[in-house]
Structure 1
Amino acid sequence: MNFPRLHLAPMQGLIDAPMRDLLTRIGGFDVCVTEFVRITHTVHGRSIWLKYMPELAHTNQTQAGTAVVVQLLGSHAENMALNAKKVVELGATHIDLNFGCPAPTVNQHQGGAVLLQYPDKIEEIVATVRRSLPAKIMLSAKMRLGYENKNLALACAQAIEQGGAGELTVHARTKTEGYRPPAHWEWIARIRQSVSIPVIANGDVFTLADYQQIRSVSGCKDVMLGRGAVQRPDLARQIAAYNQGEIIPSLSWLEILPWINDFFNCCCNKDAANHNYPVARLKQWLAQLKLVYPQAGQLFAQLRTLTKIADIRHILLTQLKH
């Protein structure tokens, strides 16, 4: 049976390789997308691609065997194409183009959501990248509903299709709306009806009920999870079980704690020389987790002023013993 697919979103600074590894091991995801790799005037070498997508060295899969897609962001069509070609030579089999990032620094350099003001430019980028790649390589894109308004939403989606993308993910907000609720799922339905390629729905899926509703309103079969998966790490597993006719309970805080310790260790291993990275990433995740698990807020308070890995590891191990 062909079940709906669940995608893990590319969230800059939040869903990096250790988080992809963790969430896909907890289970439920079919595909995940890397944080965007910014393309400017150079062609990145292997070390840069592996920094953003270490899974390139492991047949484009996380440890759990979940497929990983590499995402590119930029506005220079030829340089985007050259870099897409390079990462494919290194083994990538699926390229995703970012037309949705709302970050001001990205938009100021004509990347991400700012391009949603220029459908012709979007089509040029997609078409140029598509021409540079072998036919067997999948090319997809992610967009928001617009920059300041939704006037060009359908035109941008159609430009992505006409450029040759085979799949489109839509985050149901404009750039100026940021992450403020609500997400406009009805607009995903309008976009889906205006193109013939598959559309993946994204935005404000924090619970199983949200998942059911976004599919109902958008009419999309496949859904992408972002912040909801970080705040509720087993959300994808719950959804996958639901799609197979099973209802399973959420993980308890005691069941989440070993995963928190695991994540911290993974972050320590990722960059052994940078002690700030695992500390910052753990605190960032706890700040998200506390929106669902109050105990995460209590743990965050214990760790908030700590900066040494050994001190944090001691508290985590003490929590696990209790």
Structure 2
Amino acid sequence: MRLILGPMEGVLDHLMREMLTEINDYDLCVTEFIRVIDQRLPKSVFYRLCPELLQGGKTLSGTPVRVQLLGQDPDWMAENAHLAASLGSPGIDINFGCPAKSVNKSRGGAVLLQEPELMHQIVKAVRDAVDPRVPVSAKVRLGWDDPSHCFEITDAVLQAKADEITIHARTKTDGYKAEAIKWDYIRQVKKASQISIVANGEVWNHADGQQCMETTQADALMVCRGALNLPNLGNVVKYNHAHMAWETVLELLLKYSGYEIKGDKGLYYPNRVKQWFAYLRHEYPQAKALFADVRRHNKAAPIVDVLQSAKEQLFRQAS
């Protein structure tokens, strides 16, 4: 199974990618989106959001990392795609799926699902701007408020000569409601088109991954939120590995703390680790209990102390 670690704005940064690709056999990562408006962005923006460009477009463990762009102007999207490719991105991904109101308000992300013709123009401009050997992909939802629009949307991307399309199996108005998942639409798209299809949405464990692939008949699978709930989800889905033990997760939290505090995003560490805890508590009751202590602090040092104390307590209990 080809498995992709998808993007999550403000959470799955390069430090998280580094750690998750070290412990999972992912075939590809996609970055948080780079917002394109009306200019060719400086190289520093690309290096900041995708420092893997400085090491051959891969994480240290060797997983390729594809730059994702979000914008509504075909020409400027093409300009920035060309730059990203020239800096070494092993592909260009285009975001048509982000449901955030702040993004949609400025004509970015999922709001473009209402304009398939503009989507076509953007994908075509990007495809024409980069070397034919550089893969161009797009991430979409089934539609804005009607899942039957997925056929027109995917056709727009297909006709623009994209190499691959990732389909999140909900509409924008569905948000992330579990009961709204519609994997069968992906299967219908797959039957009706020749483009490579990546399925996305509501994969939390091995059984979900198997069911999603069986239902959709997709060529690959992308996981996002589940990879934060369960840090070794990649290998759980791919190889049916056992769910990571809480003691190991705690070690990862401390390792991540070292990454974040020493890295260029140290100031954001408290918010980042709290965001991660918000996901972990769905899988681990221990995370839910520990989160009550973590959330009281707004500085890195006392949060690390809380984590270290929890680790020491586990060690004492084990001995």
1:199 alignment partner in structure 2: 197
1:114 alignment partner in structure 2: 111
- From 13, 22, 26, give the equivalent of 1:25: 22
1:266 CA drift (Å): 1.1
2:247 alignment partner in structure 1: 254
Count the aligned residue pairs.
Answer: 312
- From 267, 282, 296, give the equivalent of 2:287: 296
**Cα offsets for 1:140-176 (capped at 9, x unmatched):** 1110000121232101101101101001100000011
- From 271, 276, 281, give the equivalent of 2:272: 281
* 1:222 has 2:220 as partner: yes
Q: Is the 8 A contact 1:145 1:174 kept in 2?
A: yes
What stretches of structure 1 of length at least 5 have no aligned partner?
Answer: 243-247
Q: Is the 8 A contact 2:4 2:221 kept in 1?
A: yes
Q: Percent identity?
A: 38
**Cα offsets for 1:253-311 (capped at 9, x unmatched):** 11211101111111112226x53x11111111111101010101111111111122222
Q: Secondary structure at the match of 1:12?
A: coil
1:142 alignment partner in structure 2: 139
1:315 CA drift (Å): 2.1
**Equivalent-residue separation in structure 2 for 1:45 and 1:96 (angstroms):** 19
**Cα offsets for 1:5-57 (capped at 9, x unmatched):** 11011111121111111111111211110011110011111110011101110
Q: Secondary structure at the match of 2:162?
A: coil
**Cα offsets for 1:53-97 (capped at 9, x unmatched):** 011101111121111010001110000000001111212220001
- From 129, 152, 157, give the equivalent of 1:132: 129
- From 69, 72, 86, give the equivalent of 1:75: 72
2:57 alignment partner in structure 1: 60
* 1:174 has 2:167 as partner: no
- From 257, 260, 266, give the equivalent of 2:259: 266
**Equivalent-residue separation in structure 2 for 1:57 and 1:267 (angstroms):** 19
What stretches of structure 2 of length at least 5 have no aligned partner?
Answer: none
2:93 alignment partner in structure 1: 96
* 1:184 has 2:182 as partner: yes
1:134 CA drift (Å): 1.1
One-letter code aligned to 1:56: L
What does residue range 231-242 of structure 1 map to in structure 2 within 5 Å?
Answer: 231-242=229-240
**Equivalent-residue separation in structure 2 for 1:121 and 1:194 (angstroms):** 22
1:245 alignment partner in structure 2: none
**Equivalent-residue separation in structure 1 for 2:157 and 2:106 (angstroms):** 20
The TM-score, its normalising length taken from structure 2, stands at 0.95
**Equivalent-residue separation in structure 2 for 1:167 and 1:133 (angstroms):** 15
1:191 CA drift (Å): 1.3
**Equivalent-residue separation in structure 1 for 2:19 and 2:144 (angstroms):** 33
Structure with bigger helix share is 2
Q: Is the 8 A contact 1:28 1:239 kept in 2?
A: no
**Cα offsets for 1:82-138 (capped at 9, x unmatched):** 000111121222000111111111111111111111111111111111111111111
- The runs of at least 4 consecutive aligned structure 1 residues that moved more than 6 Å come to none
Q: Is the 8 A contact 2:6 2:29 kept in 1?
A: yes
One-letter code aligned to 1:307: N
The TM-score, its normalising length taken from structure 1, stands at 0.94
Q: Secondary structure at the match of 1:176?
A: coil
**Equivalent-residue separation in structure 2 for 1:207 and 1:306 (angstroms):** 32
Q: Secondary structure at the match of 2:75?
A: helix
**Equivalent-residue separation in structure 2 for 1:99 and 1:270 (angstroms):** 30
1:208 alignment partner in structure 2: 206
